[in-house]
Structure formats: structure tokens, C-alpha cells
Amino acid sequence: MRRMSVDCDCAGVAAEEPTIADIGICASTDILAIDQACCDMVFTKPEGDQKDLVERITSRHGLHQLTAMQKQKMGNPRYELIEVK
């Protein structure tokens, strides 16, 4: 989760400038847990940093994937963050 923009990486040089600096590298063997953790970290950033990205996610029902993955038993939305330095 590095230099996140409201646009997809596929937009290339036409993408909006990133507004969220590095949050960190996330890893998991559980696809739902990692997606949930990443969303939670974006949504809990200090107000202002993530405002445009949160608006983009919510206006396009971007969290629907988490519900769909849980219904399909693709993983567990619960996770534990372990910081490695």
C-alpha cells in the first residue's frame, strides 16, 4: 500500500496524483483477511489524507467484494496486524 491514488495503476501517467503516502506492505495467506485489513487501514487514516480514496471506494460499492468473498467462504475477515521492522 504505497502512494495510493483514486485511480487504478492501469491509468498510467493519466492517473491522479497519489494522496495517501506509504501505509506499508501487507501479507497474508488469507485473501479476505488481507483485503479487509487494507480497507480498514485506508478508512482509519487521519481525516483528509484518504478522503478522496474513501469516497471513490464507497461511491462505487468497492466494499461489496468483502461481503461477496465472505459469502463464498473465500476466507475470514478477522485478522491480526503484526508489525515487522
pLDDT tens digit sequence for 5-63: 888 878 888 888 888 878 889 999 999 999 999 999 999 987 777 888 899 999 999 99
pLDDT at 4 over 80: yes
Cβ atoms of residues 4 and 19 within 8 Å: yes
Unique residue bearing C-alpha cell 485489513: 37
- Residue 20, beta-bridge partner list: 4
pLDDT at residue number 15: 87
pLDDT at residue number 21: 79
Residues whose CB is less than 8 angstroms from the CB of residue 74 and which lie 6 or more positions away in sequence, other chains included: 31, 32
pLDDT at residue number 11: 87
| 55-85 confidence digits (pLDDT tens) | 999 999 999 999 999 999 999 999 999 998 8
C-alpha cell at 7: 485511480
pLDDT at residue number 85: 83
pLDDT at residue number 81: 94
